[in-house]
Structure 1
């Protein structure tokens, strides 16, 4: 049965793309002196970029499959059943070192003019016993794209993609050839669970099942830590991790758990996936508002704390932490990037544009290239400086 109110609300998102873009651009021009967010510029380019963000949100809303409300309510209630257990978990219990991956296959491939290796591997991920049966990727199989010269002493960069990515065209989106050939990095692009060739029918990530979202995130962090062990065996000079949007907090969590990471970069990070879903669903009529209420519930917040980078401290030195914040980010919000920066200290690059527009910004490319080009001391011995933040 079609929820006509929600369908009409979704269609209404398209009619409001330009008015919302103009309104939010005018608001971004004022900045927020109280929180320290600087004022953005104002003009056709910023409004145009912001309209792209709003159009992206509208299209995502229309194509997103929304489960029956009773199903989402049951998923949230399930969070309540395990909330106390999750609250007692220490990060060191959840994020145990999974060890090196078991390489299953390595294939040379070419996408356009970019040659890379596609590697399938398996790794062991320890999930809380009470919910391990909910893991849609319990087979432990994972994938990664790699560009390496196979030489010791190389600098390595892991880049974690955003939502709805994970395809081979990520190599273009994240400038793999430039990072490899110009900056000299051996580069690694993990495919997150439920993305790209790892998509599973009826499993969305992020989706409306908060517990599954949380378990998939824990798995993604373990898979990437396993790749760090594989890189460490190649005798690297240092290892940097970066993440964009959904990949931002995942990169942040890896950098807070693995002392072999020497630098961390979060670009327009989606700091809280459930709060982000709630914000966008609240526009979708009465059903959307109810979904937003569920995603903001205490039960969901309690379970989500275990995947929040605000609950842990990154291990790289403060000057090797950098956040890129888009001043008129309509997808994941500039306030999310600012909160991460306030927690980290370190550096922040304010971009006078939108979430989607960051990918086209020469200024961001210059800032991130500068950060990545700086010499870095290798990370310290295992376990050094690890601590959780209460």
Structure 2
């Protein structure tokens, strides 16, 4: 009950601060929306979601946290010695080949048939990497999974383009992912082949996990390995597509954690048509530290400070985007209480060269109900050249948020 009461109090403080910013006329690249009860409701919903996320991710006591602290000390030395803290591209190993043991099965629900694929991930931490043995004990991660909506009529002069949709935290479930990405709409109305990989420790890959093991969570090295394997697995899926259709255009579409992963892949892969990042964090260590609830005097704060170079190493801010400028898109909520618009989204927007950005009047969890977001994603697919059409995104670079 204390956490619930705190959620209402935080949402109330957000509403009060919003009026101050709005009346104070503070206008810059981050749009200032007129505060409304609807906007406050979005903020409250985010705060309640945070309660649920933190319930799944309780802080360890200081004694247990000592193991995390030891690993971070070891990791800073390990990554620093290899130069990866300054050159993170060397940390992210590229898959040398597409998966060959791919199993494809049809699944019908409500008179609609999609395919479910599985394959050996093949991900291995670097030799001697801190936390590697524990990560490899999470056996559910060894097999990769994805949903697929694929057209069979490849009779045109070019293969149909592919859109890789990368889900967020607590997703990775078929019905939820297909709905939140509006996958059937993208498949049927735009003629895209759509594939939705499942990230490590999510969906079917969460089976058999020990209590308290989550990604992302407080264990920094699990977050590092989770990020590395997520990037690896998405690149394996892309390699599989290219093995089937070498000339097909491929784009990325990520939500929240999936936006973070997509941004990393977009900084490593040389031949993507577009990357659409929805409510994307840019630094997981900073994000988790912000929501940890630790006081300034808590010794565990020192551990998070020590982990900052590691957070930067696995941040898309450390990689230059390789996606063409016209194929970079970001959308975010002005009332996001989970991924802070200024501290997280704006940093990524700046780093990506200030690409087209769309703001909607809502919180982190409000994207799936925001019609401007739906229109923005549709238009981005066309504007990037991945899909055919003549829509424009109408991003909010002038500082005015799109309507809801």
**Normalised TM-score (structure 2):** 0.83
- 1:365-376 equivalent positions in 2, closer than 5 A: 365-374=374-383, 376=385
**Which residue of the partner structure matches residue 271 of structure 1?**
282
**How much has 1:24 moved relative to structure 2?**
4.8
| 2:262 pairs with 1:251 | yes
Write out per-residue CA displacement over residues 321-380 of structure 1, whole angstroms, 9 at most, x where no aligned residue: 1111211110111111111010002211122221111211111111110011235389xx
Are 2:51 and 1:45 equivalent residues in the alignment? no
Q: Which whole-Å deviations, capped at 9, do the CAs of 1:166-198 have from their partners, x for residues lacking one?
A: 111210111010010011111111110001111
**160-169 or 86-95: bigger deviation:** 86-95
Equivalent in the alignment of 1:140? 142
Q: Per the alignment, in what secondary structure is the counterpart of residue 321 of structure 2?
A: coil
SS class of match (2:307): helix
Does residue 1:319 correspond to 2:326, yes or no? Answer: yes
User: 1:20 offset after TM fit, Å?
Assistant: 3.6
Tell me if structure 1 keeps the 8 A contact 2:161–2:386: no
Partner of 1:91: 88
**Retained in 1: the 8 A contact 2:274–2:386?**
no
Aligned counterparts of 1:276 and 1:295: Cα–Cα separation in 2: 14
Gaps of 5+ in 2: 388-404
SS at match of 1:103: coil
- Which residue number in structure 1 is paired with residue 121 of structure 2? 123
Moved more, 125-134 or 238-247: 125-134
Retained in 1: the 8 A contact 2:149–2:195?
yes
1:155 paired to 2:161: yes
Q: Which of 5, 10, 26 in structure 1 is aligned with 2:19?
A: 26
Q: Does 1:338 align with 2:346?
A: yes
Equivalence for 1:384: none
The 3-state SS of whatever aligns with 2:264 is helix
Once residues 227 and 63 of structure 1 are traced to their aligned partners in structure 2, the CA distance between those partners, rounded to angstroms, is 29
2:50 equivalent in structure 1 = 57
SS in 2 for 1:269: coil
Shift of 1:212: 1.1
- 1:261 paired with 2:267, answer no
Gapped runs of 5+ residues in structure 1?
Answer: 1-7, 379-390
Cα distance in 2 between the residues matched to 1:377 and 1:357:
26
Alpha-carbon offset, residue 77 of structure 1: 2.6
Query: What is the RMSD computed on CA atoms of the aligned residues?
Result: 2.5
Instruction: Kindly state the Cα deviation for residue 36 of structure 1 after the two structures are TM-superposed.
Output: 2.3
The Cα offsets for residues 20-64 of structure 1, whole Å up to 9 and x where unpaired, read as 452354356369857521211222221221221122122333443
CA distance in 1 between counterparts of 2:225 and 2:33 reads 37
* Residues 174 and 85 (structure 1), Cα distance of their counterparts in 2 relative to 1, 3 Å cut: same
Determine the C-alpha separation between the residues in 2 that align with 1:28 and 1:354: 17
Tell me how many residue pairs correspond in the alignment: 367
Task: Give the TM-score taking structure 1 as reference length.
Answer: 0.86
Aligned 8 A contact 1:156 1:238 in 2? yes
SS in 2 for 1:290: coil
**Which residue does the alignment assign to 1:234?**
244
Contact 1:72 1:208 in 2 (8 A): no
Give a deviation string over 1:108-159, Cα, whole Å, max 9, x none: 1134454211111113224221223232456631111111114361110011
Preserved CA contact (<8 Å) 2:326 2:383: no
User: More deviation in 249-258 or 301-310?
Assistant: 301-310
User: Is the aligned partner of 1:176 residue 2:186?
Assistant: no
From 172, 191, 196, the counterpart of 1:189: 196
Distance 2:183 2:191 in 1: 11
Secondary structure, aligned partner of 1:102: coil
Quote the Cα distance in structure 2 between the aligned partners of 1:111 and 1:31.
52
> Any conservation in 2 of the 1:275–1:295 contact (CA below 8 Å)?
no
Q: CA deviation at 1:16?
A: 2.1
**Distance (Å, rounded) in 1 between the aligned partners of 2:338 and 2:240:** 34
Cα deviation code 1:253-309 (max 9, x no counterpart): 111111121211111012222222221222x6x5x9738725631x21122222110
Q: Which residue of 2 aligns with 1:209?
A: 219
Cα pair 2:256 2:280 within 8 Å, conserved? yes
